[in-house]
Amino acid sequence: MAKLSLFERRRRRVRTALRARSGDKPRLSVHRTGRHIYAQIINDAEGRTVASASTLGAKNSGANVDAASQVGKDIAAAAKKAGVTNVVFDRGGFLFHGRVKALADAAREGGLEF
């Protein structure tokens, strides 16, 4: 088996810890690239995406903190519309600072609890 990258090891460690403490809560999964940031609320019990938001096609598109906070507000609004208030935050292998932190803070301000 090939040696895993640091990112992949961190992603697996985070996901394993989430499974242990999430219970039946949906998961707020975050993915970021150099150009965009994406967020999904996933119900792992049913295996479906409940809500999603990203900077794709948005006016404030791009890979900056302002765009990430807008995605956080959008995902919180979409979650409320779907009837979800409690989630567990899955940062993947990304460190919790910068754009990921801005998205999480905006989602909390929008009404999501995690």
Please name every residue paired with 32 in a beta bridge, in sequence order, or none if there are none: 37
Task: Give the helix/strand (H/E) hosting 73.
Answer: helix 65-82
**Given the DSSP bridges, would you call strands 37-43 and 27-32 parallel, antiparallel or unpaired?**
antiparallel
Which has the minimum average pLDDT: 12-21, 56-65, 84-93? 56-65
d(CA 92, CA 29): 7
pTM of the model: 0.90
- Across the range 73-92, mean pLDDT stands at 96
Q: What is the residue-averaged pLDDT of the chain?
A: 93
Task: Give the helix/strand (H/E) hosting 17.
Answer: helix 6-22
